[in-house]
Amino acid sequence: MRFIRVWQRDLKVYRKTWRINFLPPLLEPLLYVVAFGRGLGSMVGSVIYQNNEISYVSFIAPALIAITIMNNAFFENTYASFVRMYYQKTFDSMMATPLTLEEIIAGEIFWGATKSVIATIIMSGILSIFNLIRFPSGLLLIPLAFLGGIAFGSVGMFFTGIIPNIETFNIPVFLFITPMFLFSETFFPLTTLPGWAQQFSRVLPLTHLVQAGRALCFGMISHGLLLNVDYLSLFAFLFFPLAIVRMRRRLIK
């Protein structure tokens, strides 16, 4: 449990700049609701999702939360972790303590997941003002955010272990994050895509995070939700140890 010390260290740094960190999850839902709900939503009208007709802004609201979960964990464990590792030499300092490498990496990934949870709580509070989240099922977005944060934080740390320099992060962002942002049932239903694209989208972890988030926001607890959670759990289970292996190879020479 000593990885908590790494988590506490990152929390102390976060508390010094918490006002700035609170702004994106506070303002983003307001901007999206205005832009998509009042703007694009007025053109699209309603959307058919799982045989139910819902407003477009209701359709994208859970996706916004899922995207925030992904971005907070992934970018925390790529750019931010790389800066701590390579430029600030924070990892070197921690490795000079009784902490093991596994505990350091685990603490980093858990901190990325914590940032996803914080952002989810803020966004959920804002979106609930517009009646876009149903409760009490909406409260389950918090543990879902932690699971999604572990999954995307792990894959982010995996890339941190293999990229040669900070500029190279543009490659996984372009090839991994951007396709998910566009094709993970975020802004339109999967049924609008051709068959092969639907199958591709179902492999993407963000698709399952979006679908699980919609189920909780709409109060639609079903077998499909469990499948989504199982997929995210498997994704996290695979990439968490892979991240540790890659970081060990990078740091232990």
pLDDT of 3-33, one tens digit each?
A: 999 999 999 998 888 777 777 777 777 787 7
pLDDT at 103: 95
What's the pLDDT at 194?
87
Q: Give the CA angle between residues 18, 21, 27 to the nearest 5°.
A: 125
Domain that holds residue 179: 3-251
pLDDT given for residue 188 in this prediction:
87
Region 166-170 average pLDDT: 93
pLDDT digits (tens, 9 = 90+) for 190-217: 888 888 889 999 999 999 999 999 999 9
Tokens 């999850």 — which residue? Answer: 25
Which alpha helices (DSSP H) does the chain contain, by range?
Answer: 3-16, 18-32, 41-44, 56-75, 81-82, 90-95, 101-129, 141-160, 170-172, 178-183, 195-203, 205-218, 223-251
Q: What is the pTM of this model?
A: 0.94
Q: What would the pLDDT profile of 112-125 be if each residue is shown by its tens digit?
A: 999 999 999 999 99
Query: How many structural domains are present in the chain?
Result: 1
